[in-house]
Structure 1
Amino acid sequence: MSKYRHDLPQLKGGIFLADGGMETTLIFHEGADLPHFAAFVLLADRTGRRQLKDYYIRYLDIAARGKSGFVLDTATWRANPDWGGKLGYSAEALKAANEDAVELLSEIRAERERPGVPIVINGAIGPRGDGYKASKMDADEAEAYHSTQIEIFAATEADMVTALTLTSIDEAVGIARAAKRAKMPCVISFTVETDGDLVTGRTLKEAIAAVDASTGSYPLYYMINCAHPSHFDKVVASDDAWLKRIGGIRANASNMSHQELDESETLDAGDPVDLGRRYRQLTRHMPQLRVLGGCCGTDHRHVAAICEACFPENRLSA
């Protein structure tokens, strides 16, 4: 049974941390072989499972020292049918991988959760296609496609699901509808280009309004991920009411464009301290933010810097 599905602690106030760029950390810092950027393949053996566990624990140590709750993502951003098929996973094997990803986090939560610092298990959902390109699915097709993974999570101890790195309003609508049908709390996280708009040219404001209108405002909140704060800081600089629907940020370390990142053979880790300062500015302007983490290029150093900047009353000790 899920522990927090019907009483998510991050909705009660305070800021929760999340991890950084899982795939970029595992590939560039730890030398992991992740075909098609799929971290869930590490669940297939004891060594990979241990590597994932060590990865998560580094972040949980930061959260514990900062006295922050944590939203712990499954390693399943690529664990959907099309990407699983490219990796040779049958439907049954893919189902088992999603279940195993939740099981690993359940084990970690049982070991690491302490009173007053809850750990939320979040089923991570990725786009059907490339996270930097526009999806061509309509909402009905997206709902049918993503229902498989969401229903798997609904039958586990996962407390919620989050769709990350979305570029398409229709795909977001389909995912939110599928989550609603499965009675799973869900979050929708869009990625934006350097101008702060979706790759389709639609604005973030339009995207959030369209998903809310099509789903009865089902998503708990929205997030922005896989973009540097400098790409969207002007978009969120106003006091417009729609911004209150944004409840989390998981930014990239680099201020390069998606195309530049795709073409780069090295990892741009940016400046963790500067990123922390940018997050502090965002939280001051957007006090409704509840989840702060990283995306491509970020690692535990960036999340520690975010924690230092946004929780000055809980300075981290070495």
Structure 2
Amino acid sequence: MYIGGLMGCKGDAYTSERALNQEEAIAFHSWQASLFKSVGVDFLYAGIMPVLSEAIGMAVAMSDTDIPYIISFTIQRNGKLIDGHTINDAIYYIDNHVSNKPVCYMTNCVHPDIVYEALSHKFNQTQMVKNRFWGIQANTSRLSYKELDGAKNLRISSAVDLGKAILRLKSDYHLKIFGGCCGTDSRHMEEIAGISKVV
């Protein structure tokens, strides 16, 4: 069993409102990263980071702890973060701004079909994305962040449908880490666990 320290953006992960610039992010996130280090967590995980500036600052704060860490982006169908940076560019800039690179990059709180579309854009069809983008914690809804934000009813897809969508990501883009986010329950997790064993 591994114990992780979960961190996230200061503002709204779906809209990027109140996002921090790089220097603000280093100052804001360093105290929490240091606290996690003091209690001996095995790894750090930054969930749905919507803008590159705060993601870089978050990565610097995590890198300085010498603890393995993962950066997970807020990703849209257009293949970009909320601030318009491509997945490829976000990975490039972070990898070149830290002394200790993330173990890998991921996305979470998004449906696998949206991630599949995001990765299919030519600007994300790079060796860097193939080598560094490893996983998804899936939302069961196919709706966009904008459509989901403030929605009054839970929107889900079946466990089988979610499993098929994740299998397509694994088969075509060779992702390695799979998990559940909003809308998932034991049925979805059992399906994902079964799919993850498929070669």
Q: Which residue of 1 aligns with 2:67?
A: 184
Of the two structures, which has the highest relative contact order with CA contacts closer than 8 Å and spacing of 6 or more?
1
Q: 1:312 to 1:290 in 2, by over 3 A?
A: closer
Secondary structure (helix, strand or coil) at the match of 1:263 reads: coil
| CA RMSD, 1 decimal | 1.8
CA distance in 2 between partners of 1:130 and 1:201 (Å): 16
Count of residue pairs brought into register by the alignment: 194
Q: Which residue of 2 aligns with 1:305?
A: 191
The corresponding residue for 1:174 is 57
CA shift digits 1:40-73 (9 cap, x unpaired): xxxxxxxxxxxxxxxxxxxxxxxxxxxxxxxxxx
Partner residue of 1:131? 13
Specify whether residues 297 and 225 from structure 1 end up closer, same or farther in structure 2 by C-alpha distance, changes over 3 A only.
same
- Asked if 1 retains the 8 angstrom alpha-carbon contact of 2:44 and 2:69, the reply is yes
Which residue matches 2:156? 269
Decide whether the 8 Å contact of 1:195 with 1:232 is kept in 2: no
| Alignment-derived partner of residue 247 in structure 1 | 134
Q: How far is the alpha carbon of 1:153 from its aligned partner?
A: 0.6
Q: Which runs of 4+ in 1 moved over 2 A?
A: 193-196, 234-240
Identity of counterpart residues, as a percentage? Answer: 34
Q: Say yes or no: does 1:280 pair with 2:163.
A: no
Q: Deviations over 1:142-181 (max 9, x none)?
A: 0110011111110113101010010011111111111121
TM-score by length of 2: 0.89
Q: Deviations over 1:66-125 (max 9, x none)?
A: xxxxxxxxxxxxxxxxxxxxxxxxxxxxxxxxxxxxxxxxxxxxxxxxxxxxx2211111
Residue 292, structure 1, aligned to residue 175, structure 2: no
Cα shift at 1:247: 1.7
Gaps of 5+ in 1: 1-118, 314-318
Task: Name the aligned partner's letter for residue 180 of structure 2.
Answer: G
Aligned mate of 1:257, from 131, 138, 144: 144
More strand by share: 2
Is the 8 Å Cα contact of residues 29 and 61 (structure 2) preserved in structure 1? Answer: yes
Q: Distance in 2 between matches of 1:127 and 1:183?
A: 20
Provide the secondary structure at the position in 2 that maps to 1:215. coil
Shift of residue 217, structure 1, vs aligned partner: 6.0
Q: Which one of 137, 141, 146 corresponds to residue 29 of structure 2?
A: 146
Partner in structure 2 of residue 71 of structure 1: none
Contact 1:211-1:217 within 8 A present in 2 as well: no
Q: Report the TM-score, using the length of structure 1 for normalisation.
A: 0.57
Indicate if the aligned counterparts of 1:187 and 1:221 stay in contact, CA closer than 8 A: yes
Q: Are the aligned partners of 2:88 and 2:126 in contact in 1 as well (CA < 8 Å)? A: no
Q: How far 1:183 moved relative to its partner?
A: 1.6
Tell me which protein shows more helix as a share of its residues: 1
How far off is 1:292 after superposition? 0.8
Kindly indicate whether the alpha-carbon contact (under 8 Å) linking 2:76 and 2:118 is maintained by their aligned counterparts in 1: no
Q: For the pair shown, which has the larger CA radius of gyration, 1 or 2?
A: 1
SS of structure 2 residue aligned to 1:124: strand
Deviations 1:15-45 (A, max 9, x none): xxxxxxxxxxxxxxxxxxxxxxxxxxxxxxx
